[in-house]
Structure 1
Amino acid sequence: MYGSIFIEILFGFVLLFFVAKMLGKTQIKQLTAFDFVSALILGELVGNGLYDDKVGLLEIAYAVFLWGALIYITEIITQKFKGTRKMLEGSPAIVIHKGQLQREIMRKGKLDIHQLLHLLRSKGVFSVREVDYAILERDGSISILHKSSFQNPTKSDLDVPLTPVHLSFSLINDGEIIINNLREIGKDRTWLNNELKKQGFPSVEDVFYAEYIKGQKLLIQGYEDNS
């Protein structure tokens, strides 16, 4: 019995992993109401099959792949036929317009004032008066355009000379070199080892985390710094 449960769990895990990869990252990141229900049902299909003696591996595989195919087809339909997107995925809704709460839009979106204030606070906004526009996105998150008096000044506003922006790269994580990032910045192990020694780290194994930004000193944190 335990052996069959182990096999079915392993089999279901592999299937769900495959389906998740097939559907893509946006299915996970941009979780709409339809996606949420789909994920629950997909998990239920596998979960129910594990403890039903009449259901074998083939039945589990068939159910998972069938449901995954239906979700995949739905995604294709929404991409090819734009008119179906609103029905299947929903659409963004303006819940604050020119500083005014849109009660009817909030009611249709099942969003009360407490939920809205919570979403605003999650964006660092603690008063409705700071917001010019707020849009409730399809996945339930909120996007905010601050009123001009509450917007942070930019370098252009302050007439400050613009400087290039450089991406940071993690070079060492938990004592292991991230080779792809090292190649991306055009450096090699010899350069990295020399940089470590300059800051008193004899080897990569002594480093918990190292981060590189062009034009700046290599950020290095050892294991002793975490103790």
Structure 2
Amino acid sequence: MDFLISGTEVIIGFFVLLITTKLLGKTQITQLTPFDFISALVLGELVGSAIHDKDVGAIKIIYVVFIWAVLIYVTELITQKFKNTRAFLEGKPSIVIHKGKINYEGLKKNKLDINQLQNLIRKKDVFSLKEVEYAILETDGTISVLKKSYFAPPTRNDLNLNEIQVNLPLAIVTDGEIVWDNLNESGFDEKWLRGQLQVHGCNRIKDCLYAEWTEGEALHVVKY
């Protein structure tokens, strides 16, 4: 009976967390500010503690997670409606390199040392601080870099080249299955796709690991 109760609580906790994450939005993962990080930890800990506590039932799990989710949702709503609260609740970006000079006070304020700054800069494919004109530490802990013009790659405008259309590649087949939304958006049908795959040696859809289509280019196919 204990195993049945524990299993039921785990399943309920799983779906409650799943629904809560969907309702709160993707910022819990993609834009993880310190507040979001702590809230995600607490949310998981609430469910974990409730599951391991024999005196806590499924109703209490749902109740506790619901209260926490409401608090997070209200906080997000406040930051959306009242801009003045964003700096306090979400933090604000900090310029750590200004006009090529390191802002030591900015580093100190954000508890960041030179080695950590270099590490963040390297993740932007910049291996020398002298190449950086501006560096901004974002609220999620990542860094945005604007290179000095001398080190910046040339653009088509710099080379006096005509502007060309940029097309978004569409994954038509993934893991041996057709991505129907992308296939329909491409303007082709299944018959066309099968014909193209056969040209690349895929007699069946499930023989294709990945197929990508870009307007004006041939279908790119990767077989299993």
SS at match of 1:94: strand
| Offset, 1:120 | 0.3
Number of matched pairs: 223
Name 1:179's counterpart in structure 2: 180
The correspondence of residues 12-51 of structure 1 with structure 2, limited to 5 A, is 12-51=13-52
- Amino acid of the residue matched to residue 111 of structure 1? L
SS at match of 2:157: helix
Contact 2:28/2:40, CA 8 A, preserved across alignment: no
Q: What is the root-mean-square deviation in Å for CA atoms of aligned residues? A: 0.9
Structure 1 residue 61: Cα displacement: 0.9
Q: Who is 2:144 aligned against?
A: 143
CA distance in 2, matches of 1:182, 1:86: 43
Post-superposition offset of 1:10: 0.6
| TM-score, length basis structure 2 | 0.97
Aligned: 1:160 with 2:161: yes
- Residue ranges of structure 1 left out of the alignment (5+ in a row): none
What is the one-letter code of the residue matched to 2:222? Q
Q: How does 1:107-122 map to 2 (within 5 A)?
A: 107-122=108-123
TM (norm. structure 1) is 0.96
Letter of the 2:30 partner, please give it: K
Quote the residue 2:66 is aligned against.
65
Deviation string 1:114-146 (CA, Å, 9 cap, x unpaired) is 111100011111111000000000000000000
Aligned mates of 1:124, 1:158 — CA distance in 2: 23
Q: State the 1:158 CA deviation.
A: 0.7
1:39 and 1:201 map into 2 onto residues whose CA distance is 44
Q: CA deviation at 1:54?
A: 1.3
Q: CA deviation at 1:205?
A: 2.1
Find the aligned partners of 1:206 and 1:88 in 2 and give their Cα distance.
50
Structure 2 SS opposite 1:157: coil
Aligned mates of 1:219, 1:180 — CA distance in 2: 18
Matched to 1:101, the amino acid is I
Q: Give the distance between the partners of 2:59 and 2:198, measured in 1 at CA.
A: 57
Unaligned runs of 5+ in 2: none
Q: 3-state SS of the aligned residue for 1:31?
A: coil
**Separation in 2 of the partners of 1:177 and 1:113?**
48
CA distance in 2: counterparts of 1:12 and 1:154, whole angstroms: 51
Q: Which amino acid aligns with 2:6?
A: I
